[in-house]
Structure 1
Amino acid sequence: MKFNQLAGVSFAVVLTGLVMTSCEEDTDGRPESKPGNPVATAIMPDSAAGGTVVTLTGTGLGDIRSIVFEKENVPAGFQPTLNTDQALIFRVPDEVVGGVQQVTFTNSEGRSVSVPFRVLAYPTVAEVSNYNFTKGAEITLTGNNLDDVTSVRLTGTSDAATIVSKEKKKLVIKMPANTAVNRATLDIVNGTGLLRTTQELTNLDKAYSIFTDAYGAGFQDGSWGDAGAISTKEFRTGTASVGKTYQKGNWHLIAFANWSASAISYSPEYTYVAGWIKGASADYSLYLTTDASKAGFGGFDEKNKINVKAGVWNYFKFKLSDIDFWSAGKKLSQVGFRIQGPDKQDETFYFDDIVLIK
């Protein structure tokens, strides 16, 4: 009995010792570098964009507790376990403001050092409110680093857009009142540098109109089944679109027909066909078709298929050389959009800014 008691006491002593040892050795993972008088000798690289890993070297850098970028006091995240007396690794925060600024490193005793750093915050554009414009029209660009934009021009020209308003994530511009371009990307300059957008905008004033706010010259409705109807309630640009109800199971199409002498003769200068389609109650595919194609009017060529999402405006833009649209030597007198179905019910789509672009 005494033996058991003695064994129990011995075990408790050993266990207590282990716990005490564990407590003494357990830290938060920081290297055992005491806070000093921080001195910076180099920062590499000395300019970078958000998300980039940067290394500060020097002396007395132990126990750094905060890193703050000067403009708008943006803090940077870092792992204390990577902090030593001679080096500190951190990441430039994604939300940092662009331009040359001080980055301040402060340790647990409040001592700090600041170094100059150039944040590369090039403008980015993820979305545009419209791919088409007329003179003086406003376009909204959504992206990042747009609050310090200084100029917007049509690529390859001196034609400048007017900056209406600017925020970090949004830029509103007014397109030039006079420009000779048929289509162009945008050159956007901010405090870091130049962005050339991947989005290309079309000048509707220079495009050949099949339908914009009304039928183009010589065009009229030539639809199968229910005729197209002008709508002033639904439109993507301007004041009107044309709606078409596709009857259940009839595989009909909307047609823009030009039976006059002004039907368009083939020209290799035309490069694209583009437009907007507002979807119906479910996702569908429409097939672009013309009477100047090799297959003839009313076909279902997979190259000409447009996937139309339900309930929203969908933009399409085809390079004519990539689809069956216009055979050399033929006149273009009918342009249509055909559906396979619909199977469940009648469906209505709206069409706007159907144009040919040089």
Structure 2
Amino acid sequence: MKKEILKSKKLYCVLSALIVFGFAACKKEHSNLVGGTGAPVITSVATAGKSKTDTLVTTVTTYDANGVATTVIDSNKTHNSVIPFDSTTTEGKKQNQYVIKGKNLGSVTGVSFNGVSAYFNPALVSDNTIIVSIPQNIPTGASVSNKLVVTTLHGSASFNFTVLTPPPTISKVSDYSFTAGSQITLSGVSFATVTSVGLKGSTATATIVSQVDTQMVIKMPTAAISRANLVFTYASGTATSTQEFIDLDNSYQIFVNNNYENGWFDNSWAHPSGISTTTSHSGTSSIEAFYPAGGWQVEGMADWNTPGKFAYNADYKYFTFWVKGGTVNHTLVLVGDQMVGGYGQVQNANAYAAQLISVPAKVWTFYKIPLGAPSSTNPNLLNFWANGTPAQQLGFFLQGQSGDVDEAIYFDEMAFVK
């Protein structure tokens, strides 16, 4: 009996020890924390990797029936790979990956840039390194701390590290055309730190009316240019927009600032075509082209007077305008008295590519059509002076009606641009 009691006590002790060990093991596995117990130290930050393109040299040797060898060397193949790149840095870009180096980092519980937490994968942590990506939502600019902070079970470490502001990038604009004093709204990212907006190729600068990170309103300057990209000066340098903007003040205007210009006037067939205050893209008025139900007709404008009679000039590169569709989608044919087919009913099947104008219903659409020389046969270039110069008529032909309804289509900011 005494032996059985002793065995039971020993078994109880063994089970107790196993249970305690089991809890400890579970706790260790759950926390996934390793490393030194001292305060963390950050010694440097490095880029995580880079892409390398190598030229592969392939040597192939073959032997014929007599044992004579033929060797062919091919060095035209390329191979892309990611290789370690230990480039220390004190600056980083959003959504790029970096290696934090130091000691006592294994029990890391948090990594932050400028006070905002960044996700890290515990599998990419050692006691001397942490691999982390900089999130998109990290704040940047002069008002932030520019600090990288690593927190562990045994303290925290701070390191001077600047997250670079991404270049301002435009995704949408309210207008591609402007006159001095007009305002344009830019939508996109990274506008908050912009300090100035210039025009490429000009000393003129726009006035910043308002700005947040995702949107900026600018007032356009007087400039001596025809077309220009915007140049942003921001927290991390300068950046140039991919979008090009048209200075209507330095263009040959057909309809700008709520009125016909340079002697052009309404040359429509149907009432109420002409200047309309019903809608506009910029200002208070636009050109209305009215197409009655069932009609096959041209609505447009002409210039029979001085100082008009628009002569060919090779300096003009684009014909630009905004158009607002009617009740349904349409395709118009752009026609002119000196164009192939003349000013008349050029059917869609007989028009070339640059003449065909797709007009979505009820929205404003911008067109920037490249111009060709009189001798050009490129279908993507608008040959406005194909039959001679000067040109005196410009219009849009609508081939029938979808649904057989009256249709009104509007045009604004119409010009020829150098």
TM category (shorter chain) comes to 0.7 to 0.9
- Greater percentage in strand: 2
- The match for 1:63 among 80, 89, 107 is 107
- The match for 2:46 among 39, 44, 47 is 44
Superposed CA deviations along residues 108-158 of structure 1, whole A, max 9, x for unmatched, are 45x111222222222212222211111122222112111111111111121
- Structure 1 residue 325: Cα displacement: 2.9
What secondary structure sits across from 1:310 in the alignment?
coil
Partner of 1:6: none
Instruction: Please tell me whether the aligned partners of residues 207 and 219 of structure 2 are also in contact (alpha carbons under 8 angstroms).
Output: yes
Partner of 1:304: 355
- Structure 1 residue 74: Cα displacement: 2.4
- The 1-side partners of 2:31 and 2:276 are apart by 67
Summarize the Cα distance change of 1:206–1:41 in structure 2 as closer, same or farther, 3 Å threshold. same
- The match for 2:407 among 339, 347, 350 is 347
1:142 equivalent in alignment to 2:202:
no
- The 1-side partners of 2:122 and 2:343 are apart by 69
- The 2-side partners of 1:91 and 1:253 are apart by 59
Summarize the Cα distance change of 1:120–1:254 in structure 2 as closer, same or farther, 3 Å threshold. farther
Instruction: Please tell me whether the aligned partners of residues 197 and 231 of structure 2 are also in contact (alpha carbons under 8 angstroms).
Output: yes
Summarize the Cα distance change of 1:309–1:35 in structure 2 as closer, same or farther, 3 Å threshold. farther
Gaps of 5+ in 2: 1-18, 48-88, 373-379
Superposed CA deviations along residues 288-324 of structure 1, whole A, max 9, x for unmatched, are 2222223433433223222222221111101113423
Which of 1 and 2 has greater Rg? 2
- Structure 1 residue 266: Cα displacement: 0.9
Match for 2:382: what amino acid?
D
1:256 equivalent in alignment to 2:301:
yes
- The 1-side partners of 2:354 and 2:136 are apart by 40
Match for 1:44: what amino acid?
A
Match for 1:282: what amino acid?
V
- The 1-side partners of 2:94 and 2:202 are apart by 31
Summarize the Cα distance change of 1:297–1:324 in structure 2 as closer, same or farther, 3 Å threshold. farther
Gaps of 5+ in 1: 1-16
Partner of 2:196: 151
Instruction: Please tell me whether the aligned partners of residues 40 and 113 of structure 1 are also in contact (alpha carbons under 8 angstroms).
Output: yes
Match for 1:297: what amino acid?
Y
Match for 2:203: what amino acid?
S
Summarize the Cα distance change of 1:340–1:27 in structure 2 as closer, same or farther, 3 Å threshold. farther
| Identical amino acids, percent of aligned pairs | 33
- Structure 1 residue 250: Cα displacement: 2.4
What secondary structure sits across from 1:303 in the alignment?
helix
- The match for 1:324 among 376, 382, 400 is 382
Superposed CA deviations along residues 262-293 of structure 1, whole A, max 9, x for unmatched, are 21111111111001111222332222222222
The alignment yields a C-alpha RMSD, in angstroms, of: 2.4
What secondary structure sits across from 1:269 in the alignment?
coil
Match for 2:356: what amino acid?
K
1:286 equivalent in alignment to 2:318:
no
Partner of 2:393: 334
Summarize the Cα distance change of 1:82–1:202 in structure 2 as closer, same or farther, 3 Å threshold. same
The TM-score, its normalising length taken from structure 2, stands at 0.74
- Structure 1 residue 170: Cα displacement: 1.3
Partner of 1:189: 233
- 1:173-188 correspondence runs (5 A): 173-176=218-221, 178-188=222-232
- The 2-side partners of 1:294 and 1:53 are apart by 57
- The 2-side partners of 1:35 and 1:229 are apart by 82
Superposed CA deviations along residues 48-107 of structure 1, whole A, max 9, x for unmatched, are 32111111122111132222222xx32222222222212111111112233481111112
- The 2-side partners of 1:190 and 1:308 are apart by 37
Summarize the Cα distance change of 1:341–1:34 in structure 2 as closer, same or farther, 3 Å threshold. farther
- 1:91-170 correspondence runs (5 A): 91-99=133-141, 101-109=146-154, 111-121=155-165, 122-170=167-215
- The 1-side partners of 2:32 and 2:327 are apart by 58
Match for 1:173: what amino acid?
I
Partner of 2:70: none
Match for 1:90: what amino acid?
V
Instruction: Please tell me whether the aligned partners of residues 61 and 85 of structure 1 are also in contact (alpha carbons under 8 angstroms).
Output: yes
- The 2-side partners of 1:282 and 1:26 are apart by 67
- Structure 1 residue 32: Cα displacement: 4.1
- The match for 1:214 among 256, 259, 262 is 259
- The 2-side partners of 1:225 and 1:183 are apart by 35
- The match for 2:117 among 75, 99, 117 is 75
